[in-house]
Amino acid sequence: MIPTPRSAVPLLELDRVAKTFGGHVAVEDFTLAVSPGEFISFLGPSGCGKTTTLQMIAGFLAPSRGTIRLEGRDLTQVHPSRRGLGIVFQSYALFPHMTAAENVAFGLEMQRVSRAERTERVRAALAMVGLSGYEDRHPRRMSGGQQQRVALARALVIRPSVLLLDEPLSNLDAKLREEMQIELRQIQRNLGTTTILVTHDQTEALSLSDRIVVMSKGRIEQIGTPQDTYERPASAFVAQFLGKTNDFAARVEGASPARIVAGGWSAPAPVGLRGPVTISVRPERIGFSEEGLPGRVAARVFQGNHWLFQCETECGPAIVVRPNDGLAQPGEGEAVRLAWRPEDMSIRDMGLRAGAVA
């Protein structure tokens, strides 16, 4: 893990930032403090205001309300060309009439870096993204992944205080995307550049970030580490958006000690909780066992390294994922019992947001 982000002095701060287009609210009440060296992802469905927020940080859009500070300095009055941020656009936005090297050199020319140093830094930047030997290519003669690397090199070579990435990998095919994710993370770790990544791909956000900002309809739903947001989602939206989850209708029964009961499965209930509740458990945290919530396997799908089971239970449908460990698995139509550890579930209901049962 990166040094605990929250304790460090924030590099970039967004304070109750909002943006309205006409009457339409695109971003509302966006507050975030980014520490030096942190990798942050803005994650959310299409149209939730990710790009709008990024463009406000970059300076291409002026916030309707709120302030943005970089190293304590108010950014709102600073022209985009003076902010010193590195940006990789979704369309890459390479200069088509320049070669890869010229593209990368452009920002250094603007900073009036001497020719000798420029040449050296361009060479190093292209080498860093694995494009040595492509200096004289024009963008139109490069593949999507190569163009993406040029765009990354171009943004990084100016040593930006913050790197902004707007869905930089969404145009790549799945395999290349995975490779680039690993590479992006490595480069970011090596350089220590503070990075904000916009994405609607939850795996990308989970695998790359120190912290994830989950957004919905212009609002922040949750800010937390990937593990936090995945295992302790703050809302039903976050739970649904970050991977599959099973919601079971359960009840709190008895008093001192009260127990949470879902069919044949039960566990000690947190203090003060009563009545009907919804518990949610990730598919990979449910196992088949001797006792627990009774159900029946409705469908079974083989997916290579794991099995996917669709089960029906008296508390609602359930999805179960089991690793393909070579052991015998229940077949379709078989009666099973589902069980999970109490710490693997989160309890939501009646406006009450409780974390995992301790």
Partner 1 sequence: MSAAATTTLPAAATATPPEPRASRAPLWLILPALLLFVGIVLVPLAMTVLLSFHDWGQYKGIEPVLVLKNWHEIATDPYYAEMFGRTLRIALVTTVATALLGAPEAYILNRMSGRWRGIFLLLILGPLLISVVARTLGWALLFGGANGLANKLLMSLGLISSPLPFLFTETGVVIALVHVMMPFMVLSVWAALQRLDPQVEHAAMSLGAGPLTIIRRIVLPQIMPGVLSGAIIVFSLSASAFATPAIIGGRRLKVAATLAYDEFLNTLNWPLGAAVAVLLLAGLVLIVVGANALVERRYAEVSR
Ligand X SMILES: Nc1ncnc2c1ncn2[C@@H]1O[C@H](COP(=O)(O)OP(=O)(O)OP(=O)(O)O)[C@@H](O)[C@H]1O
By the rule CB under 6 A, 200 interacts with ligand X = yes
CA–CA distance, 236 with 17 (Å, rounded to integer) = 24
Specify the residue, 49 or 59, whose C-beta has the smaller distance to ligand X.
49
The listed partner (Mg ion, ligand X, partner 1, none) that binds 197, CB under 5 to 8 Å by sort, is none
Strand order in 287-302's β-sheet? 316-323, 306-313, 287-302, 335-339
Using CB under 5 A as the criterion, which residues of the chain lie in contact with Mg ion when the complex forms? 51
Identity of the residue, 60 or 302, whose beta carbon is nearer to partner 1 in the bound complex: 60
User: In this structure, what token pair is assigned to residue 237?
Assistant: 């939206």
Nearest residue (CB) to Mg ion, 170 versus 289: 170
Binding of residue 63 to ligand X (CB under 6 A): no
Residue 90 C-beta: closest distance to partner 1, Å = 8
Q: Which of 111, 186, 289, 324 binds partner 1 (CB under 8 A)?
A: 111
User: Counting contacts by CB under 6 A, is residue 24 touching ligand X?
Assistant: yes
- Residue of 3, 31, 47, 189 interacting with ligand X (CB under 6 A): 47
46 binding partner (options partner 1, ligand X, Mg ion, none; Cβ < 5 to 8 Å by kind): ligand X
Q: Indicate the residue among 152 and 215 with the shorter CB distance to Mg ion.
A: 215
Q: Is 78 in the site for partner 1 (CB under 8 A)?
A: no
80 binds partner 1 (CB under 8 A): yes
Q: Closest CB to partner 1 among 79 and 175?
A: 79
What is the spatial distance between Cα 163 and Cα 48, in angstroms, rounded to a whole number? Answer: 21
Q: What is the 3-state secondary structure (H, E, C) of the chain?
A: CCCCHHHCCCCEEEEEEEEEECCEEEEEEEEEEECCCCEEEEECCCCCCHHHHHHHHHCCCCCCEEEEEECCEECCCCCHHHCCCEEECCCCCCCCCCCHHHHHHHHHHHCCCCHHHHHHHHHHHHHHCCCCCCCCCCHHHCCHHHHHHHHHHHHHCCCCCEEEEECCCCCCCHHHHHHHHHHHHHHHHHHCCEEEEEECCHHHHHHHCCEEEEEECCEEEEEECHHHHHHCCCCHHHHHHCCCCEEEEEEEECCCCCEEEECCEEEECCCCCCEEEEEEECHHHCEEEEEEEEEEEEEEEECCCEEEEEEEECCEEEEEEEECCCCCCCCCCCEEEEECCHHHEEEEECCEEEEECC
Report the nearest approach of Mg ion to the CB of residue 140 (Å). Answer: 24
Q: How many residues make contact with partner 1 (CB under 8 A)?
A: 28
Per CB under 8 A, contacts with partner 1 among 135-164 are 138, 140-141, 154-155, 158
Residue among 86, 145, 292, 295 that touches partner 1 (CB under 8 A):
86
Stretch that binds ligand X, among 43-51, 106-114, 147-155, 228-236 (CB under 6 A): 43-51
Rounded to whole angstroms, the Cα distance separating 31 from 248 reads 33
Please identify which residue in 34, 87, 262, 336 interacts with partner 1, judged by CB under 8 A. 87
CB of 138 to partner 1, least distance (A): 4
Question: How near is the Cβ of 46 to Mg ion at its closest, in Å?
Answer: 7
Which of 4, 46, 81, 305 forms a contact with partner 1 (CB under 8 A)?
81
Contacts to ligand X by CB under 6 A = 21, 24, 26, 44, 46-52, 200
Task: Name the site residues for partner 1 (rule: CB under 8 A).
Answer: 58, 60, 80-87, 89-91, 93-97, 106-107, 110-111, 138, 140-141, 154-155, 158
